[in-house]
């Protein structure tokens, strides 16, 4: 009997701590639920080193100030190679520029004769040519350019073109009323064609002279 009482007391003492441990654990779990991990984390930062961002530098070396007066070399304007090649001075005179504008007018009159176009187009083109030649004559009167071969050749051609233009205009007007004899012969179609051929030849020569004047 005595042994039974002692065994009962021992069992009771053994059950109480186990019950108490299980109860405490249950309450502690309910208390930290929803609060995340509350234990101690390992120190992982000791295995890594923090790198600070470094300032980027250009791979090329800095140049000196471009506008620095000490770095700019003076322009060699006394060097003929620089003046004639680099600067490329305009050697075209005003007279040559005027001649260049006349050449297309001469070519147009030549084409009209070559293509046997009507009298009206011929007279109009020669009239336009004459006005431009008058301008040149007044512009270069008593100047060295008036002695140029190109200038004199152009003035002679203009007079010839005016005479042929007048001849064609009069022939167009009077031809029905004149007989091909005496004074009326000059308005003959064959004579006019011959005069046009002479003028065309002179146009060719003058154009060559004017182009060689460049």
Show the CA angle centred on residue 33, arms to residues 31 and 38, nearest 5°.
85
| pTM, 2 dp | 0.57
Burial of 122 from C-beta contacts in 10 A (0-12 / 13-18 / 19+): buried
Joined tokens for residue 147: 């002695």
The pLDDT, as a whole number, for residue 182 is: 61
Tell whether the model's pLDDT for residue 156 goes beyond 90.
Answer: yes
Residue 187 has pLDDT above 90, yes or no: no
Q: What percent of the chain has pLDDT over 90?
A: 45
- What is the rounded average pLDDT for all residues in the chain? 75
Q: Return the number of other C-beta atoms located less than 10 Å from residue 19's C-beta.
A: 10
- Residue 2 clears pLDDT 90, i.e. is over it: no
Q: Which residue has the higher pLDDT, 213 or 84?
A: 213
Residue 185 pLDDT? 76
Among 17-31, 87-101, 165-179, 197-211, the minimum mean pLDDT is found in 17-31
């Amino acid at each position: 009997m005595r042994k039974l009482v002692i065994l009962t007391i021992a069992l009771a003492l053994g059950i109480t701590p186990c019950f108490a441990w299980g109860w405490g654990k249950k309450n502690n779990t309910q208390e930290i639920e929803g609060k995340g991990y509350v234990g101690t984390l390992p120190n992982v930062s000791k295995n890594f080193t923090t790198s600070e961002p470094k300032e980027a530098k250009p791979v090329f070396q800095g140049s000196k100030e471009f506008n620095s007066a000490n770095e700019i070399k003076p322009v060699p304007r006394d060097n003929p190679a620089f003046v004639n090649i680099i600067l490329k001075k305009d050697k075209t005179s005003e007279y040559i520029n005027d001649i260049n504008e006349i050449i297309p007018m001469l070519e147009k009159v030549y084409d009209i004769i070559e293509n046997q176009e009507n009298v009206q187009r011929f007279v109009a083109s020669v009239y336009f040519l004459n006005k431009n030649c008058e301008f040149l004559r007044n512009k270069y009167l008593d100047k060295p350019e008036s002695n140029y071969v190109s200038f004199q050749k152009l003035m002679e051609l203009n007079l010839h073109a005016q005479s042929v233009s007048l001849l064609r205009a009069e022939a167009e007007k009077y031809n029905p009323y004149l007989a091909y004899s005496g004074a009326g012969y000059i308005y003959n179609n064959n004579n006019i064609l011959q005069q046009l051929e002479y003028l065309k030849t002179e146009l060719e020569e003058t154009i060559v002279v004017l182009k060689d004047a460049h």
